[in-house]
Structure formats: structure tokens, C-alpha cells
Amino acid sequence: MTVYLLCFVLFLVGLYGLITRRNLIKIIISKSITEFSVFLILVLIGYIDQGLAPIVDPGTSHQVYVDPLPQAMVLTAIVIGLATTAMLMAIAIRLYRKYKTFDIREIKNLRG
Amino acid sequence: MEGMSIIVKKVTQLMVGIIFMFGIYIILHGHLSPGGGFAGGVLIAGAFILLILAFGSSSLKLKKEVAGSSNTESIGILMVVVMAVMAMLFGAKVFFFNFLPKGEAGELLSAGVIPLYNIFIGIEVAGAILTIFLALIIFKEESSK
Amino acid sequence: MDALIPLFIVIPLISAFLIMILGKLVKGFHRYFAPLTLLVLLAMTIIVFANLGGSSLQYTVGGWGLEKGIPVGIFMVLDAFSVLMLCIINLLGFIALFYSFSYIAKYTAESNYYSLFCLIIAGMNGVVLSGDLFNLCVFLEVSVIASYALVAFGVGKTELEASYKYQILGSLGFMLILLAVGLIYWKTKTLNIADIRQVFEAGYSKPYYIFVQVLLIAGFGLKAAIIPFHAWLPDAHSSAPSPISAMLSGVLIKAVGIYVIIRLFFNMFVFSYEIALVLTSLGAISMVVGSLLAIVQWDLKRLLAYSSISQIGYVLMAFGMGILLLLRGNNEAAAVLAIGGGIYHMINHAVFKGLLFLNAGSIEHRLDTRNLKEMGGLSTAMPITSTTSFMGSMSISGIPPFNGFFSKLIIIVAAINGKFYLLATLAVVVSIITLAYFLKFQRFAFFNKSAGEALSKIREVPFPMSFSMIVLATLCLALSLLAIPSVSELILRPAIDVLMQSDLYSTTIIGI
Amino acid sequence: MELTISIILVFMIIGSIFALHAKDLLSAIINMGFVGFGLVICFLLLKAPDLAMVQLVIETVTLVVMVAVVLDSSRREIAVSFDRRSLLNMAVGFLAFACLFYFFMKAIENLDPLGMHTLRMADSYVNGAVEKTGSINLVTGVLFDFRAYDTMGEAVILYTAALGTLTLLRIKGKK
């Protein structure tokens, strides 16, 4: 129970970063932090005590394995997170080239 | 973009081959050991990124590479979709059906279509991440000119 | 007929990849291949719409159907409600693509534009056809990520900043949705929407249920730009190229936002009073605040973007009222009216908001400005644009012969029958405010005497743009036929039944 | 098991707070890397080798891309001025997060605790999966056979991201 609460605290730290930080790169970092916490919650859900890693040894029979479905979901979500991070970095570098700053508030009033 | 010091270049020359082979190993053994199309593809892209960072290259050459990598990427994903539809044509008339024989579990050539999907998804992921990195490097160089 | 369902996603995907491969080799390949694929999709939609007739098809991907009564694979579900969404997506997609045939000449990298456009269509078709919760999130992200790139297609300063804000809020929304999917999987151990309903019907704990539903409302509210989560919409929709903002405002926030909320809250969750109240009030607030913000705008596309928020508020309020009435149980007819009004207004809004954004695009194509103050006296110079825009404005503000009037009328009548007098008065007041700011748009753009600068050189827009506007304008008129009881019985009623009898949805899937 | 992951999580929370309040952007990125690799360790502890590998490699590529972007920019961060108003915001924010935390705790109170997960849909992904898909690695079996449609959507998303990055980074947008 405490692990899930700690994951949610990590999610809240990421959310805090998203709302308060003004630096483009730090907003991307806090987005990644929220992603890390959600991925961890998903994998924690699929964990089974004394379960083996989901690689079946053909010889043995009837082992208890960890649930592979949340792992497949998280693998997909990690690559989605990479996709959005890549496009955000593209915009961040482009805005930096134009305004010479990563600060979102300065970019707003340099709108010209 | 200028390359790095001679030591980094030498170490990269030694390591890039191994990283590349390891990526291919991960893709081919996707259905036997952990990893698969995604992890292997990123590893192969990592090998190329290491090469570009260590040796640096003019933006002109990079532009040709970007065209090449985005084409391989499109071909990779196109093959995945075509294989899915092919399964529909003569499998059990169902999208994404595993129509090849499953073979004996644990062998390299087992699990029917899965190794093929692994290979094409690996190609697609390697092409995509290389395209993203090259696009960033080209923009950095072009705009600083 | 079953084999058609996966083709809705495979055809646009294959065309998107072929465009990128052959776009450089064959000159102008992308300009002819993309409209062709969308025409094929439109034809397939019409075939499916013709002989679906209220039944619901399901397609097991990969051959993994039911094992021991539990759905194992991914199910694709095509029923009366998702067929209507398919019609909106593919019809407006084809018209917007045909419109951008000459509009996009101003931009570089055309083949990227057409490829990303096909990807949005594929993503939305995937969302509308999917019966699996995580699969719905993956295809939602396909269409949304493609729309991030298209919002910043002309890489200007404001467009990049708008796309940045849109992406950050979009990925935060996706994280909330993923957290909700995780919590749902934690309790129900399954991802199939129909199966989740089975487990939820067996019983659930109240705080868990409310928390998951609030997470989903927040996540999909960010995608549908409901009021507290609408910060990205005005910037993103006003800085995107016009056919893209027509697609975003007309179809994307519906197919990816409102449709999913409706599908989940009607077919997956058991109705609960608090959440129905939250949905209705969010809809009402969006309706009022959206229109109040729209009046003060002088940038044409920002005005249209804020009016999208207000019209989406109408749709959400109608569905919220539908749930409240179903929960009360005594007034069945009003619930049918409310849900029917919601669906009907969603279809109408896709048509006339698409038309208005295409008009804004034509004006921008010729005058290169979006500021209402700099426009003027265009009715003589651009006759087709002004007449179609007049028809669009009249139908959005609910003037009788046009479709907007009938759908708003149905919603207001449903509100009065269901004794929601406050909501009925709000709907009428907002409709008047909508009429006010669209008259402002008409006066400043078309009938005001301009400052006399070279008005003669402004000619009408080329054929593809004017043809698309004419088609949408005639559709504004044709759709008002849907209000006739016999016609709506044929088209809208099956969709309403799918939403009302939600256990019907799960029995057809799991066959219990 | 729960204790070790909680300890790693505490370090990750501290690392992410440092990442948000770092003066220099480069140290912020390195802190993010630290949190990412902490996640890799958690995946290994939770018996998810596939995920650990993918997260490790993708984290490395993200760090390389971020450092490439940030390296030659001015890495100083503008100091945040702590006036009265921002303290008020901080208090309101903290209060909102506290009730979010409380609702989350109430929500997951009577769900299965860590490790007591039972299988329903995933049961057929585990038992008899080797015969059905032929693949020994169950996660690959789920990814490429049971739910191959998701993985195709996934690859399309990465393709869209590459196409989007190419579109966003072209030098001239309008003719």
C-alpha cells in the first residue's frame, strides 16, 4: 500500500513541476517524471509474490509467472512517452534558436 | 559538427560493432529472451548515434542519411501492416493472425510470425529514432550557420 | 461486411506510409493519392452505414475471441453510434483534404502534410472502432500526436508555442487516462470494455469508482477541451492551417474526446448520480463561458475556437441530462430526446464548424490576415465564401431553416421536459450570444465598408476550396431533414438505443 | 520486496525534486537520468526484464538528445523570486495535492495489496501461452500475438513522432 502512495507522491511532484516551472526543459523533465510514476504503478499492479519473470523454461511445467499484460502496456507507454518527448525537444530547440531563452514567460512577451 | 577527441573515436570504433551486433541479437531472440523489436531497434539506433557523435559529419551528408533513415522507417512499418493484412488474406480471414507454423518452443525458428514482426518493428524503431536524432542535429547545424 | 472493419484503419495507414516513400520519387503523387484513399474510405463508410441497420458487429483481432467466457484478444466493435462517428470523420476528412489541395501550396513539405493527415484519420477510425480500453488509448495517441505536428505546420513563433502547450497538456491528459486504465485493470483484471462492465455490475466501492471516473473525465476533458481544461484549444486551433483546424474543431475533439466520454460513461460504467451531475454542470459551464469568451475576440479563428468550446458544452450538457433522466427513471421520452439531441448536435457542429473554419481559411488565403478589423466588404469580392459563411453562421446560431436550429431545439425541449429549467434558459441565452458574435463576424468580414484599399484584386478562392465550402453549406441544409421523426427514427434511434441499453452492448460482445 | 522498492522510490522522489529546483539545466537533466535509471532497478526487482531493457536504452537516448539540445545554450536558470504571492500559491497547491493524495488513498484502500494480483484476462496469456503463440517470452507473446494490434499502433506512433519531428524542424515553413 505504501509503495502505491509513494508512486502517487512522485506523480504529484511531476504535476507540481508541470504547473510551476517556467523553463521549457524543466517542464519536459517534469512530464517525464509523471510518466515514470504511472509506469511504476502499472508494473506494481501486475506483480505476483514468488512469481517468476515471464520467460517460460520449456522443460519445467506449471510455474507461477508475473502478469505479462501490464508489462506489455508499460512497454507501449514508454515508447509513447519517448515520442512526445522527442517532439517537445524539437520545439524547445527551435524556440531557443528564435528567442535565445528557454523561459516560457519571456517567450510569451517576446511574441513579436 | 566536429568530432570528439581521438580517444573517443578509437573507443567508438571498437564498441560500435559490438553494440550493433548486440542490437541484432536482441531483435532476433525477441521471442526467446527478454527484449525484442523495441529494445533491439533502439540499440541499433544508439550505435549509429554514437558513431555520429564521435566522428561528427557535415550537414550535407546528414541530410542524405535522414532521407535514407526515414525511408527505411516507412518501409519497416509498411511491411508490418502488409504482413498483418496478409494474415487476413489467407490466414483464418482474421487481421494479425499468426499463420506460420509455431515450430518447437525454445528454438530460434519458432513462434510463427513473431520473429518476422520483431525484425520489421526493430527496423522501424531504429529508423524512427535515428531520424529524430538526425533531424535535431541537422537543425542545430543549419540554424547556427 | 465484417472484413471491412479493419480496413478502416489499414487503408489510411498504408496510404500514409506510401505517401512518404513515393512522395519524393513520383512528382505530385501525394496530391492525388491522399484524396483517393479518403474517397475509398468515404465509400466504405456509406456501404457500412447503408447495411448496418442498427445491428452491432464485432471483430476479433488476431483470432483471439472468447476463452472460458472471458474476452482475451482485442475486439473491434462497430455499432450504430460508432457508424455515425465514422461518417463524420471520413466525410469531413475528405472535404478538408480536398480543400487543402490548393490551400497547402503556401506551405513547404506537402507530402508530410498529407501523410500526417492520413494518420489522424487512421487514429480516429481506430478510436471509434475499438472495443478495448488500452487499444483506444493507443489509437487516441496516434491521432493526437499527428495533430501536434500539424498544429505547428507553418513553423512560425506562435504556432510552435501553441503546439508546445497543446503537447504538454495532451501528454498530461494521457498520463491521467493511463492511471485510470491501470486502476480499472487493478480492480477488474481485464481491459475489454464490455467485460469491465460485467465486473463493475457485480459491485464496486464508491470512493474507488468516483476517483476513477473523475480521472477519466479530467483525462478526456483535456482532449475534448471542456472548460477547466480548455487552455490549449484557442491557441492550437487558431495557429493551425485552416483545414487542420476544421478537422480539429469539427472532428478530433469529438471523436477523441466527447465520443470516448460518452462510450465509457454509458457502456462501461454503471450510471452514478454524482458523475452525471458533474458532466451536466461541466457542459453547462463550458457552454456559457465559451460563448462569453468568444464575443470579445477579434482574431477570427480564436473566435471560432472559443465557439467550439461553447457548442461542445451543449453536447456534453445534453448527454449529462440524458444520464440524469435515465437515473430518475420516470421520464424515458425526455432521456431519448436529450441523448438524440446530443448526437444530432454533435453531427451538426462537425459540419458547420468545419464550414466556418474553411471560410476563415479562404479569407486568410486571400487577405493573409485573421483580424476582423482589417477585413471588410468581401461580400462582393468573394461571393461563394460570403454566402456559405452566412449559411454557416446562421446554422450555428440556430436560425430555423438550418440544422443548428433543430438540434438546439431538441436539446432545449428535452431540458424543459426533464424539468431542467435553468439549463433550458442557459441554452437559449447562449444561443442568442452565439447569434450576436456571428453577426459581428459577418458584419466585419463581409458587409462592412472596407478602408478602400485594393479590393478589386481580391478574387474568389480556387475551385477545390469553393467546392468544399459549397458541399458543407448544402449539408448544413440537408442535415435539417434529420429532425423529421421518420428520418431520425431510421438514423438516430439505433444510436440512442445503443447508448440507452448498455447491457445490450456487453451481451453482443460477450454473448452472455 | 515492498521495502526495497519504497527506499528506491524515496530516492527517486528526492532526485526529482532536485531536478526541478536545480540551478543549472545540465544537472537537472542528470537528475532526471538518475530517476529514470532508478525506475530501471525497480522494473528489475519487479521481475520485468523486458521493461528494464527498453527503459534503460530509451532513457539513454533521451538523455543524449536532451544534452545535445541543452549543451550549447545558456544553462543558467533565472532565479525564482519568493515573494508573498508565490508562497500563497505554494500553500494552495500543497492543499490541493494533499486532498488528491487523500482521495487516492481512499480509492486504493480495498484493492488487492502488492503481490496478491489474480489473473482473469491475462490467465490465457500465461497458462498454455507457449502452445498458442510458440513464444517462450510471454511479454513478447502478448505484444506480438495476443495484442499485436496495439503494437502496430505503437509503431505507428513512433513513425508519427519521427515524421512530426521532421516537419517541426524544417528550416522554412511557408514559401
Checking if the pLDDT of A60 tops 80, the result is: no
Checking if the pLDDT of C284 tops 60, the result is: yes
Q: What is the pLDDT of residue C313?
A: 93
Residues of B in contact with A55 (CB under 8 A): 33-34
Name the D residues in 15-34 with CB < 8 Å from any C CB: none
Q: What is the pLDDT of residue C279?
A: 93
Model confidence band, residue C11 (pLDDT cutoffs 50, 70, 90):
very high
Q: What is the pLDDT of residue C374?
A: 80
**CB under 8 Å, gap of 24 or more: what pairs does C47-53 form?**
C47/C4, C48/C1, C48/C4, C48/C78, C48/C83, C48/C86, C49/C83, C49/C86, C49/C87, C51/C1, C52/C1, C52/C78, C52/C79, C52/C80, C52/C83, C53/C494
| Amino acid identity at C459 | R
Give the range among B111-115, B123-127, C7-11, C234-238 with minimum mean pLDDT. B111-115
pLDDT in tens, C375-426: 777 888 888 888 999 999 999 998 888 888 999 999 999 999 988 899 999 9
Whether residue A17 lies within 8 A of chain C, CB to CB, comes out as no
* Sign, CA torsion C124/C129/C131/C135: negative
Note whether B93 contacts C61, CB cutoff 8 Å: no
Residues of D in contact with B110 (CB under 8 A): 134-135
Q: What is the pLDDT of residue D136?
A: 87
Could you tell me which of C480, D123, C9 has the C-alpha nearest to residue A69? D123
What SS3 state is found at C415?
Answer: helix
Could you tell me which of A93, A81, A108 has the C-alpha nearest to residue A22? A108
Q: Which residue has the higher pLDDT, A40 or A111?
A: A40
**Nearest residue of C to residue A24 by CA position?**
C164
DSSP, res C192? B
**C360 class by beta-carbon count within 10 Å (0-12 exposed, 13-18 middle, 19+ buried):** buried
Distance between CA C110 and CA C106 in Å, rounded?
Answer: 9
For all residues of chain C together, what is the average pLDDT? 89
Ranges of each domain in chain B: 6-144
Residue A72, C-alpha cell as written in the block: 506489455
What's the whole-number mean pLDDT along residues C325-335?
88
pLDDT in tens, D64-113: 999 988 887 776 666 666 677 778 888 888 999 999 999 999 998 888 88
Note whether B75 contacts C21, CB cutoff 8 Å: yes
Note whether D126 contacts A13, CB cutoff 8 Å: no
Checking if the pLDDT of A22 tops 60, the result is: yes
Segment holding C78, helix H or strand E: strand C74-78
Distance between CA A15 and CA A33 in Å, rounded?
Answer: 8
Checking if the pLDDT of C450 tops 70, the result is: no
What's the whole-number mean pLDDT along residues C179-207?
90
Distance from CA of C147 to the nearest CA of D (A): 9
> What does DSSP say about strands C70-71 and C57-61: parallel, antiparallel, or unpaired?
unpaired
Note whether A91 contacts C163, CB cutoff 8 Å: yes
Ranges of each domain in chain C: 4-510
Ranges of each domain in chain D: 1-77, 117-175
Please list, in sequence order, all residues whose beta carbon lies within 8 angstroms of the beta carbon of residue D96, skipping any fewer than 6 positions away.
none
Q: What is the pLDDT of residue B101?
A: 77
Distance from CA of D167 to the nearest CA of B (A): 9
Q: What is the pLDDT of residue B92?
A: 62
Whether residue C281 lies within 8 A of chain D, CB to CB, comes out as no
Checking if the pLDDT of C67 tops 70, the result is: yes
Model confidence band, residue C330 (pLDDT cutoffs 50, 70, 90):
confident
Angle between helices D148-168 and C133-151 (to 10 degrees): 10
Segment holding C57, helix H or strand E: strand C57-61
Q: What is the pLDDT of residue D157?
A: 95
Distance between CA D87 and CA C423 in Å, rounded?
Answer: 39
- pLDDT exceeding 90 applies to what percent of chain D? 55
What's the whole-number mean pLDDT along residues C158-174?
93
Checking if the pLDDT of C512 tops 60, the result is: no
Distance from CA of D87 to the nearest CA of C (A): 23
pLDDT in tens, C26-39: 877 788 899 999 99
Name the D residues in 85-114 with CB < 8 Å from any C CB: 103-104, 106-112
Mean pLDDT by 10 residues, chain B (145 residues): 85 93 93 89 93 83 83 87 81 72 76 87 93 91 81
Residue indicated by cell numbers 483470432: C63
Whether residue C171 lies within 8 A of chain A, CB to CB, comes out as yes
Whether residue A30 lies within 8 A of chain C, CB to CB, comes out as no
What's the whole-number mean pLDDT along residues C221-248?
91
Angle between helices B114-144 and A68-99 (to 10 degrees): 10
Whether residue A17 lies within 8 A of chain D, CB to CB, comes out as yes
Segment holding C47, helix H or strand E: helix C29-50
Distance from CA of C73 to the nearest CA of B (A): 11
Model confidence band, residue C332 (pLDDT cutoffs 50, 70, 90):
confident
Domain annotation for chain A: domains and CATH numbers: 2-48+65-109 (1.10.287.3510)
Query: C186-218: b or e for each residue (b if 16 or more CB lie within 10 Å)?
Result: bbbbbbbbbbbbbebeeebeebbbbbbbbbbbb
Q: What is the pLDDT of residue C456?
A: 66
Segment holding C75, helix H or strand E: strand C74-78
Checking if the pLDDT of C96 tops 90, the result is: yes
* Sign, CA torsion C107/C109/C114/C118: negative
Model confidence band, residue C451 (pLDDT cutoffs 50, 70, 90):
low
Q: What is the pLDDT of residue C455?
A: 62
Whether residue B137 lies within 8 A of chain D, CB to CB, comes out as yes
CA dihedral C13, C16, C20, C22 (to 10 degrees): 90
Q: Which residue has the higher pLDDT, C313 or B91?
A: C313
